Amino acid sequence: MRKHYLLITLFIVLSFLFTASFIFAGPKPAEEEEVEAVPEEKPPEVDLSVPITVLVTDPHIQVVDTWKPIWEAQTGGKIEVVLVPYATLEEKMWLEFRTKTGSFDIACVPVTWLGEVFGGGHVENLEPYMDKYGYPNWDDVMPGVQRITKWMGKTMALPYDGDNHMTYYRKDALEDPMYQEQFKKKYGYSYHTPPLNWSEVRDIAEFFDEWDWDNDGEIEYGVAFIAQQNSQAMWSFMDVCAQYTTIAGKPSNYTSNIFFDTETMEPLCKSPGWVEAMTRIQELTEFAPPGLLGYGYSELRQAFVSGNSAIAFDWGDIGIQEQKPVEYGSKVKGLLGYGPLPGAKKYFDRKTNRWVEKQHTVNFLNFGGWVWVIPKAAPQKDAAYHFGIYMTNPEHSLLDVCGIHGYTGANPWRWSHFKTPEAWVRGGWGEESVKAYLKAISDILQDPNAVPDLMIPGTPEYYTGAGSSLDVHLNAVLSGKISPQEGCKRIYNDWVRITEEKGFDEQKAFYRSSLGLQ
């Protein structure tokens, strides 16, 4: 019993001491108060019990094939792949949009088709999915790439590729002091590396044309670019056209605008800027390799990395193939310099209807790259979005663009892609080369006023329509069948007709929206 009383007494004393210590100690300072941890809110679970179908073409199938088994193993989901040639990709896509059968859940498509795709309301607005499931580092996406995923202020596609044309040049030719001195004696000035404008390109191409300037026992040429009809020659022309037709600035009727008058929808195709550009590109064919008119993108890349020309213009793909002597027969690894497109020493100001003598450069997002879209009728939209952001997150997309996975067709498009040169070195690049390559591309993609490609309904008809289009008449000019003036006139007439067929008011609204104008 005594033991029992002692225990009660001890308990009362300890209780008093504890209570007193709390009272006299006073409340804890605010910074010392314990705050109950709030668990981090996790995105909702995605139902992956039903397989998703992915529509893709070469070479992007390599990206899907890389991540498909890993995603399946990690999530338990399943992916069915529909691989089609590029030539039938558009047909397959439109068959789904017309029939709404849910034949695929997510597709990799080129940005140049998005005027009709977005404008026609055929794909999902992805912002609700971003709100619901999140998106991996949207601020990491370059401004120029963010821009091409949007329509009427809404994000309609997942970014995946940072396509834009750039300049490639042979450093062992253009940076040779002896050749530089010889050029200066002949032309009366020193050129820049990379070339500053298309006037310099013309003279450099002429200087290096048809002689063995790299001492390999073979004749080399001045300049190479895509020129094949029914390929992508129109973007070679637009490289030049952008520089003579407008000047960089916040998009308006007179700045960063190269296709139509935004008020009247009159095509700019026969303006002095277009005619000057058509004249310039026709002239460059004189200093190009034999068979230039047969150069599609594959032929151009193969020819240039084999060492046949001093200058070339292409997307970022030449840089990747440069690093692969075995796979692509590259003889120029470490010999290439990189830069933005050449500018021009003048541009035609439509507001004042006169030429302005001013050195300037316009960044143009040729083709615009590839994006992932989810059709309105897709049966597994949430799961498709899940796989889409899995492929395109910072860590995975870096491996796809830097060469570690070989040639995937995807070029860098996130800020982080440009800040990790060590990954590119692992992909086979030299440190000096990769730094110069990444700088050239990032300078273009971080331009908020980079001119987007034509992205309105009818774009394929404006560009490559059978019998009457930019592609058809450009080929006639490049082959010398018609004059640059006549070529531009024919393009103008065709574009007026196509606009009327599509609906003037609708086309005007779409075009203004594509430039971010209300």
Average pLDDT of the residues in 362-368:
86
Residue 166, amino acid: M
Radius of gyration of the chain (CA): 29
Residue 165's closest CA among 390, 319, 348? 319
Residue 48's closest CA among 386, 479, 442? 386
The percentage of the chain sitting over the pLDDT mark of 70, rounded to a whole number, equals 92
What is the model's pLDDT at position 24?
32
Q: pLDDT digit string (tens) for 371-415?
A: 999 999 999 999 999 999 999 999 999 999 998 887 888 899 999
417 — phi, psi (to 5°)?
A: -65, -30
Is the fold of 52-163+368-445 the same as that of 166-362+456-514?
yes
Q: Is the dihedral of CA 374, 380, 382, 384 positive or negative?
A: negative
Predicted confidence (pLDDT) at residue 328 exceeds the cutoff of 50: yes
33 — phi, psi (to 5°)?
A: -65, 140
Cis peptide before 39 (omega within 30 of 0): no
What is the model's pLDDT at position 43?
64
Q: Is the dihedral of CA 351, 357, 363, 367 positive or negative?
A: positive
Residue 180's closest CA among 198, 195, 167? 195
Residue 97, amino acid: F
Q: How many CB atoms lie within 10 A of CB 42?
A: 7
Average pLDDT of the residues in 139-168:
90
Which pair of tokens denotes residue 95? 């068959």
Higher pLDDT, 37 or 151: 151
Q: pLDDT digit string (tens) for 31-59?
A: 444 445 545 456 678 999 999 999 999 88
Q: Please report, for residues 190, 215, 287, 313, the alpha-carbon distance to residue 203 in angstroms, rounded to integers and kept in the order given.
A: 11, 21, 10, 16
pTM metric for this prediction: 0.84
Alpha helix (H) ranges present in 356-503?
Answer: 381-392, 394-401, 421-426, 431-445, 459-464, 470-478, 484-502
Statement: 52-163+368-445 belongs to CATH 1.10.287.70: no
Residue 365's closest CA among 315, 402, 435? 315
Alpha carbon of residue 97 to chain centroid: 24
Query: Which of the four pLDDT bands, split at 50, 70 and 90, describes residue 452?
Result: confident
What is the model's pLDDT at position 182?
98
Residue 100, amino acid: K
Reduced 3-state DSSP string for 86-124: HHHHHHHHHHHHHHCCCCCCEEEEEHHHHHHHHHCCCEC
Q: pLDDT digit string (tens) for 256-273?
A: 999 999 999 999 999 999
What is the model's pLDDT at position 35?
43
H or E element in which residue 317 lies? helix 317-322
**Residue 362 to residue 144: CA distance in whole angstroms:** 13
Cβ(54)–Cβ(64) under 8 Å? Answer: yes
User: Residue 468 carries which DSSP code?
Assistant: S
Which pair of tokens denotes residue 296? 């599609």
Residue 461's closest CA among 472, 477, 475, 476? 472
In the block, residue with structure tokens 């490609």: 453
Average pLDDT of the residues in 464-473:
85
The percentage of the chain sitting over the pLDDT mark of 90, rounded to a whole number, equals 73
Which pair of tokens denotes residue 122? 């055929």
* Helix/strand/coil for 409: coil
**Residue 239 to residue 248: CA distance in whole angstroms:** 14
| Superfamily the domain 166-362+456-514 falls into | Periplasmic binding protein-like II (3.40.190.10)
Alpha carbon of residue 479 to chain centroid: 29
Average pLDDT of the residues in 507-512:
91
- Within the chain, how many helices (H) and strands (E) appear? 22, 15
Please provide the size of the chain in residues.
518
For the chain, what is the mean pLDDT? 89
Phi-psi region of 323 (alpha: psi -120 to 50; beta: other; left: phi over 0): alpha
* Helix/strand/coil for 290: coil
Q: pLDDT digit string (tens) for 203-250?
A: 999 999 999 999 999 999 999 999 999 888 999 999 999 999 999 999
Residue 319, amino acid: G
Q: Is the dihedral of CA 348, 352, 354, 358 positive or negative?
A: negative
Please state the domain extents for the chain. Answer: 52-163+368-445, 166-362+456-514
Higher pLDDT, 99 or 518: 99
Residue 451, amino acid: V
First to last CA, the chain: 92
Q: Which residues contact 36 (CB under 8 A, 6 or more apart)?
A: none
What is the model's pLDDT at position 136?
95
**Residue 65 to residue 88: CA distance in whole angstroms:** 20
Q: pLDDT digit string (tens) for 96-118?
A: 999 999 999 999 998 888 888 88
| Contacts of the segment 388-392: beta carbons below 8 A, 24+ positions apart | 388/106, 388/158, 389/133, 389/134, 389/135, 389/136, 389/158, 390/67, 390/71, 391/63, 391/64, 391/67, 391/160, 392/136, 392/158, 392/159, 392/160
Which pair of tokens denotes residue 377? 């009728």
**Residue 509 to residue 517: CA distance in whole angstroms:** 9
Q: Please report, for residues 188, 307, 332, 386, the alpha-carbon distance to residue 207 in angstroms, rounded to integers and kept in the order given.
A: 13, 16, 20, 53
